[in-house]
Amino acid sequence: MVRHPDTAVTGRPAVLRRFAQWCLAPLPAPPVALRRGPLRPGVFRSGLRSARLTSQLGAALGVAFGVCFVTGLLSHLIQHPPGWFWWPARPVGLYRFTQGVHVATGLASVPLLGAKLWSVYPRLFSWPPARSVAHAAERVGAGVLVAAALFLLVSGVLNISRWYAPMPFFFTAGHYWVAWLAVGGLLVHIGVQLPAVRAALARPTGEPRQDGLSRRGLLGGVAAASGLITLTTVGQTIRPLAGLAVLAPRHPGAGPQGLPVNRTADGAGVRAAALDPAYRLRVTGPGRSVSLDLAALTGLPQHTADLPIACVEGWSATATWTGVRLRDLVALVGADPRHAHAVVESLQVGGRYRSCTVPPEHVGDPLTLVALRLGGEPLHIDHGYPARLIAPNRPGVLQTKWISRITVRES
């Protein structure tokens, strides 16, 4: 049967063409009487703003946000691993590096985003406000991207400062989902603006001055601001630069036994239970269960490892830990450490991180310890006395303190 050209075979493309034409059709111009204040022509007179400047700032910001997103996504997957995800135990400082980069690039993005918003600020008041439906959608998308970027940077700074009062939501969940929104908006923005960006970067330009400042000088100032922020905060991750970390919220050497503390025993409500002489660590496996008091734990073979505590807030510090290998405790209850998961629970009654699951690659690693001593001394109670988990290449929130129970499950 021969179909007529207007049948369903060609009808869908025709509908799409009409829809595209409708989206691109000019909208009626608003009354000129509404063009007041910042909407008036010639209000923004700075000669520094240009398509080339905006493109250069946007390229730098896009790279910073891309690195920040990838490293942040990695941190989220480590803390909330889906079934397909795998994270190795070695090298021991890999997470320390990736999370340090995440926080450093986030902080360095603050002046970049500020300069980028300044460069495009006059476009908020372009006339007419919407030339077409497509142009209106593009402006709404750019607004969503700006709002998401500001949310990520502001909430990130509040998090590393451990100031959660202004955030009526769980930081990790909010930060994670808005990051996807920001990256989606960024990819759409790049797709829309890429031809204009390429043209702007390829076009030769002079160096107009505004109050003695050139565009090159402005870019240099923004780069210097980002570099200065990085230099004065990255010492919380890179110990040799700790003396320069005057803007870092945490100093890696401040705290009992030379390590910072995020959650104290009193804050967790475990002081009495941790100091109770009747304390027992219960290890349950497929073959048997054991209950070990502190003397019994100390009587088992002890091992020492130099491992970092790496916090999601960006700070990290290496310390010397001594205790019982987790794989020895797993073997004690009849499980094979190479194929076992260990659920480690704290004395804490509640809390999002009162327990964690240690996968086989960490259970079987000889550096994964149930630590009893720090720097040759018994653990300070705020560092997890009488026993805590310390494993290579894991976030600090998964290094469970005040361990009460270990449940072993074979894969």
Over the stretch 42-57, which tens digit does the pLDDT of each residue have? 777 777 888 899 999 9
Residue 184 has pLDDT above 80, yes or no: yes
Q: How far apart are CA 252 and CA 159, in angstroms?
A: 17
Please name the CATH architecture into which domain 258-410 falls: Alpha-Beta Complex (3.90)
> Residue 4: which pLDDT band, with cuts at 50, 70 and 90?
very low
Task: Quote the pLDDT of residue 136.
Answer: 84
Across the range 231-247, mean pLDDT stands at 87
Across the range 11-22, mean pLDDT stands at 78
42 vs 94, more confident: 94
Residue 211 has pLDDT above 70, yes or no: no
Task: Quote the pLDDT of residue 7.
Answer: 45
Residue extents of the structural domains in the chain: 48-202+214-244, 258-410
277-308 pLDDT, tens digit per residue, is: 999 999 999 889 999 999 999 999 999 999 99
Give the 3-state secondary structure of 234-266. Answer: HHHCCHHHHHHCCCCCCCCCCCHHHCCCCCCHH
Instruction: Find the Cα–Cα–Cα–Cα dihedral 284, 288, 292, 296, rounded to 10°.
Output: -140
SS3 367: coil
Percent pLDDT > 90 in the chain is 64
Cα distances from 234 to residues 60, 62, 240, 407, in angstroms, run: 19, 21, 10, 38
Q: Are strands 340-346 and 403-410 parallel, antiparallel or unpaired?
A: antiparallel
Give the rounded distance of the alpha carbon of 280 from its chain centre: 36
Domain 48-202+214-244 = CATH 1.20.950: yes
Task: Quote the pLDDT of residue 11.
Answer: 64
Q: Is the pTM of this model over 0.85?
A: yes
356-411 pLDDT, tens digit per residue, is: 999 999 999 999 999 999 999 999 999 999 999 999 999 999 999 999 999 999 98
